[in-house]
Amino acid sequence: MLNGSITGEVFLIGTGPGDPELLTLKALRMIQGADVVVHDRLVSQPILDLIPDGVERIDVGKKPNHHPVPQAEINALLLRLAQSGQRVARVKGGDPMIFGRGSEEAAVLRAAGIPVSFAPGITAAQGVSAATGVPLTHRGLATGVRFVTGHCQANRPLDLDWAGLANPDTTLVVYMGHANMQQIAGALLAHGLPADHPVLVVMNGTRPNETRLVTHLGALQTKRATIAVPGPVLFIVGRVVRLLDEMAGPETDAILQSPELQRVLHG
């Protein structure tokens, strides 16, 4: 608190996967109304350029195996800034409530009596789906979708429900899985998914330097060296990948030739 009477507040803001046009109006309002912006490394430069001149920026970005500002210090920083009476924009890539540790930071702040507000962001899976045209669910191909992280705290081994994840009727989206992609592919194969099960790997999704790799589980174990980093990497595992424009085939033909569509087209 400032002079024992003024308490600031913290805005936990998701900025999406990088395309500034995917930023919500609420997120933009919070960013432009802040006294100080504390941001991660995955926040794209075009979004950082929206911060008004004169607003302090603090970079607390983490990289794989390199955390120059540990999470406990980030929590303490947010608390200290808010207690000094400032409006703090805590800006994150994606959505702060999906693998973004937003709830952890909010818990610390609320325990100290600091008001916290959220602005959701377009999570990477949705952004990549829109950018590529690959749906996350589709009749006849996927009845559901699951989001998992491919990275564990302190580089511990992944402990996921591999049997449940290896469901051919579900689209599996893996965040932060580059380092462990061989383990992920091997576990899914061992639990029953076929070697030719489609996989779409997207690097820097929705950004000008977006790149894509279409492959399958059997080859994914040997593809790690071909996937460029740094930059966020997302894996979409599932039959929906076959609907990618470059891969249009029997599934697309079936949609175009369906009786329902033909009735609409031809009466």
The one catalytic residue in 30, 40, 92, 181 is 40
Cβ–Cβ < 8 Å for 87, 33: yes
DSSP notation for 157-223: PP---HHHH--TTEEEEEES-STTHHHHHHHHHHTT--TT-EEEEEESTTSTT-EEEEEEHHHHTT-
Say whether 169 is catalytic. no
Say whether 40 is catalytic. yes
Give the integer Cα–Cα distance in Å for 195 and 66.
Answer: 34
The one catalytic residue in 30, 176, 181, 203 is 176
Element (DSSP H or E) covering residue 69: none
Q: Which residues contact 103 (CB under 8 A, 6 or more apart)?
A: 96, 97
Cβ–Cβ < 8 Å for 12, 74: no
- What residues are paired with 214 via a beta bridge? 200
The one catalytic residue in 62, 97, 223, 247 is 62
Say whether 223 is catalytic. no
Q: Active-site residues: which are they?
A: 40, 62, 176
